[in-house]
Amino acid sequence: MAGSASGALAAADRNRPGQHTWMHSIVRWLFIGVSLTFLAAVLLAPLATVFAMALAKGVPAYLHTFADPDTTAAIRLTLITALIVVPVNTVFGLAAAWAIAKFEFRGKSVLITLIDLPLAVSPVISGMVFVLLFGMHGWFGVWLQEHDLSIVFALPGIVLATMFVTFPYVARELIPLMQQLGNDEEEAAITLGAGGWMTFFRVTLPKVRWGLVYGMVLCNARAMGEFGAVSVVSGHIRGLTNTMPLHIEILYNEYNFVGAFAVASLLTLLACLTLIVKTLVERTGYRRR
Amino acid sequence: MSFKQPSILPGFGLTFGFTTAFLSTIVLLPLAALVAAGTSMHWSDFLHVVASPRALGSYRLSFGASLLAASINVVFGFIIAWTLVRYEFPGRKIIDALIDMPFALPTAVSGIALTTVFAQNGWIGRYLEPLGVKVAYTWLGVTLALTLISMPFAVRAVQPALLEVQRELEDAAETLGAGRFYVFRRIILPTVLPALLTGFTLAFARAVGEYGSVIFIAGNIPMKTEITPLLIVIHLEEFDYHGAAALGLVMLAISFVVLLAINLLQAWGRRRHVRAAR
């Protein structure tokens, strides 16, 4: 985000007069020391613990976790959920960004605020609203039961709750980016006779592709890691409606620490991968805002 | 004025229609169900749930710990942002990238990992134990978890503001005889103040609703270490949908106020910025 710009600033700092006094050095090392200590305690120690605990009883015990059918079922459910949620929210994000960035209309700021709404809502509430709609005593509960359909405590509920939570991620990346890039090239394409879809695929999509990749990666990370919202709608049925984060909770509460941290290590690797993609995308010159 | 200004670009009807339809189905209709379930309750029933001693205890913890975590993050967020912007040291770029880790890391993972580190026999917990400081399963643990998950908001809010502090002003002040602390108080702090407040509010908003990372480290004893989102889950598990909806409505109202505060703060920051540029 502030990567290269702050780097240049820090480099310029060394050549400034008055930067070599002992007072300045003390402040400088104090700041660096406090920052690193704080981050080491709250961020690096927990990250290292995940792998230390997962491998505490050796590699065979670590791998044994993934032989458990309940664990593989949880991994499969998490992948299925992300495979449904990320593409749908990507299509939504592209549509929302096109409508908001390309046109001027009344109530635009209200629309942007409403898109951001899920970010301000507690994950527990994000799950609960679907229980209120589709649960046994919910609005559509009786109708669903008559037609033998289940949404809550089944895959559709998990997908809906995850979709709610990750709803703004792609749109939030694309809207400011497309607003910043302007409409000139699209207007030129249309004037020269290109159709709407052709303009979108040949002009707009290549321009915003890195922002799109970034938004999708963030959306995926949150979709695979969501705990609170999914926990409320899932029903915690082992091997059926447990996603990876929920499976971690069950293993942990059963004192199966190797298993819990082994599953956690997969999600930690996913988080690391997400940050690497983010860093690479930022290196292409694309910046958030 | 018509609803939409004319444009030669196509696709407004399709994209606007899809956006509003999808938004209404996935976000607005479900939230309407919550508001309907909460408001259809009788007034006395509603009060009975949201003002019960157990609920009040959970607000005290949720808001107290979130305020504390946001305050801690303002202090450390400023120090970390300052370090990343002003100083060069080995590993600076990696640290800069790692700041976003709490965004990317699933909350359940941060929850079990923090609990293990700060438990009595954990890497850090074992050194705090002889000092009489218990972190895991107390309100301190709740604050710690909330501090971790809301940390990036504070750092990322302050970082761009620090980049914009005009170094010439600092130089001029120092030439005129101002000490470092005076420069900090009169030049740096006023420039980053809106960003600090925005960071505080964003961190608070995230912390208040947090569930996953807290329930592992909290101990979850009613009145003592039970956060409001957990109380909602407990109501839901007892199929007390109305009670859950009432508490949810209280939290929703609070998020709404916080969201409003963020917008006002950002508008204030922009106005100050424009004035300063003139």
The rounded distance, in Å, linking the Cα atoms of B12 and A96 is: 10
Q: Is the pLDDT of residue A127 over 50?
A: yes
- The closest alpha carbon to A260, from B116, B124, B103, B218, belongs to B116
**Model confidence at B151, in pLDDT bands (50, 70, 90)?**
very high
Q: Is the pLDDT of residue B109 over 80?
A: yes
Q: Is the pLDDT of residue A4 over 80?
A: no
- The closest alpha carbon to B218, from B138, B133, B278, B161, belongs to B138
Structural domain spans, chain B: 7-40, 42-277
Q: Is the pLDDT of residue A37 over 80?
A: yes
Least confident of A5-14, A55-64, A75-84, B71-80: A5-14
Closest-CA distance of chain A to residue B52, Å: 20
- The closest alpha carbon to A196, from A278, A95, A119, A78, belongs to A95
The rounded distance, in Å, linking the Cα atoms of A148 and A154 is: 13
Residues A44-99: tens digit of each pLDDT: 999 999 999 999 999 999 999 999 999 999 999 999 999 999 999 999 999 999 99
Q: Is the pLDDT of residue A289 over 50?
A: no
Q: Which residue has the higher pLDDT, A283 or B123?
A: B123
Say yes or no for a CB contact (<8 Å) between B209 and A271.
no
- How many CA atoms within 13 Å lie on the side-chain side of A22? 0
Say yes or no for a CB contact (<8 Å) between A137 and B8.
no
Classify residue A198 as left (phi > 0), alpha (psi -120 to 50) or beta. alpha
- The closest alpha carbon to A6, from B104, B183, B95, B102, belongs to B95
Test mutation, A25, A49, A214, A219, chain B, max B CBs within 10 A: A49
CATH no., domain B42-277: 1.10.3720.10
* Amino acid occupying residue A136: M
Chain A residues with CB inside 8 Å of B102's CB? 43
| Complex confidence, ipTM | 0.88
| Tokens linked to B174 | 């120092």
- Write down the pTM of the prediction: 0.90
Residue showing tokens 């917008």: B263
Q: What is the pLDDT of residue A282?
A: 84
The rounded distance, in Å, linking the Cα atoms of B211 and B216 is: 9
Residues B167-208: tens digit of each pLDDT: 888 888 888 888 888 888 888 888 888 889 889 998 999 999
Q: What is the pLDDT of residue A7?
A: 56
Chain B residues with CB inside 8 Å of A188's CB? none
* Amino acid occupying residue A24: H
- The closest alpha carbon to B153, from B52, B87, B212, B78, belongs to B78
Q: Is the pLDDT of residue A3 over 70?
A: no
Scan residues 64-103 of A and list those with Cβ closer than 8 Å to B. Answer: 92, 95-96, 98-100, 102-103
Q: Which residue has the higher pLDDT, A249 or B194?
A: A249
Q: What is the pLDDT of residue B250?
A: 92
| Tokens linked to B187 | 């030049």
Count of Cβ atoms closer than 10 Å to residue B88 Cβ? 17
- How many CA atoms within 13 Å lie on the side-chain side of B80? 29
Test mutation, A37, A122, A198, chain B, max B CBs within 10 A: A122
Test mutation, A124, A164, A170, chain B, max B CBs within 10 A: A124
- The closest alpha carbon to A197, from B266, B9, B113, B100, belongs to B9
Q: What angle do CA A288, B3, B6 make, to 5 degrees?
A: 75
Residue showing tokens 């298993």: A259
Question: CA separation (Å) from B85 to A2, A30, A95, A285?
Answer: 8, 15, 36, 19
What is the rounded (10 degree) CA torsion for A288, A289, B5, B10?
Answer: -20
**CB-closest option in A18, A35, A183 to B9:** A183
Say yes or no for a CB contact (<8 Å) between B232 and A124.
yes
Say yes or no for a CB contact (<8 Å) between A3 and B208.
no
Say yes or no for a CB contact (<8 Å) between B92 and A104.
no
Residues B206-249: tens digit of each pLDDT: 999 999 999 999 988 888 899 999 999 999 988 888 999 999 99
- The closest alpha carbon to B139, from B229, B57, B255, B56, belongs to B57
Backbone angles phi, psi at A105, to 5 degrees: -145, 165
Residues A254-274: tens digit of each pLDDT: 999 999 999 999 999 999 999
**Model confidence at A9, in pLDDT bands (50, 70, 90)?**
low
Average pLDDT over residues A7-18: 60
The rounded distance, in Å, linking the Cα atoms of A65 and A171 is: 37
Closest-CA distance of chain B to residue A198, Å: 11
